Amino acid sequence: MFSDTALASPAPVAAPAFRLPTDHGTISSESFRGKVVLVDFWASWCGPCQQSFPWLAATYQRYRDKGLEVLAINLDKKPESADEFLEKHSAPFKVAYDPDGDVARLFKVHGMPMSFLIGKDGKVIASRAGFDAKHTGEMEAKIEEALKP
């Protein structure tokens, strides 16, 4: 669940650089240069992650033509666990794997799921730990603002 704490909108800082494996090769932070990206850290054992995936998919579908990218970064140690989760939950967006949690540490992930909205300038605009459907409008407002020309 997005926690009951407010959406964090710190003074913008550069998002960490990273390179991670996907099912189709590797992906790096460089591939998102100049784009608005919602980076979401998740794991198969995380109950709120199961609730957040439908919202992530719907949000991606709603805003992708306006330029939103979504990258879901899995933290499971066993690839089979992630595969089982993805069989049950649609992921029309990019999925990468961080089994050792190196990128999660760079982002200072402290809850699950945890989302970071990164602007076209590569800076973190907002972040939120957890998931609660009643708070998704706040993140969507930030997304809409970031996507403005």
pLDDT tens digits for 87-137? 999 899 999 999 999 999 999 999 999 999 999 999 999 999 999 999 899
Residue 30: φ, ψ to 5°: -60, -30
At residue 13 the predicted structure's pLDDT band, cuts being 50, 70 and 90, is: confident
Region 11-37: mean pLDDT is: 93
In angstroms, the first-to-last Cα distance of the chain is 31
Q: Is the model's pLDDT at 1 over the cut of 50?
A: no
Q: Is the model's pLDDT at 9 over the cut of 70?
A: no
Residue 125 and residue 146: Cα distance in Å, rounded? 8
Domain assignment present for residue 6? The answer is no
Domain assignment present for residue 57? The answer is yes
User: What is the model's pLDDT at position 80?
Assistant: 96
Q: Enumerate the H helices of 40-118 as residue ranges.
A: 47-63, 79-88, 102-107
User: What is the model's pLDDT at position 98?
Assistant: 98
Mean pLDDT of the chain: 92
Domain assignment present for residue 1? The answer is no
Gyration radius (Cα) of the chain, Å: 14
Domain assignment present for residue 78? The answer is yes
Residue 110: φ, ψ to 5°: -130, 15
Q: How many domains does the chain have?
A: 1
User: What is the model's pLDDT at position 12?
Assistant: 72
Q: Residue 125 maps to which CATH number? A: 3.40.30.10
Q: Is the model's pLDDT at 5 over the cut of 60?
A: no
Q: Which residue has the tokens 């996507």?
A: 147
In the sheet with 19-22, reading across from the earlier edge strand, the strands are 13-14, 123-129, 114-118, 36-42, 68-74, 94-97, 19-22, 25-28
Domain of 47 in residue numbering reads as 13-147
Domain assignment present for residue 2? The answer is no
Share of the chain above pLDDT 90, in %: 89
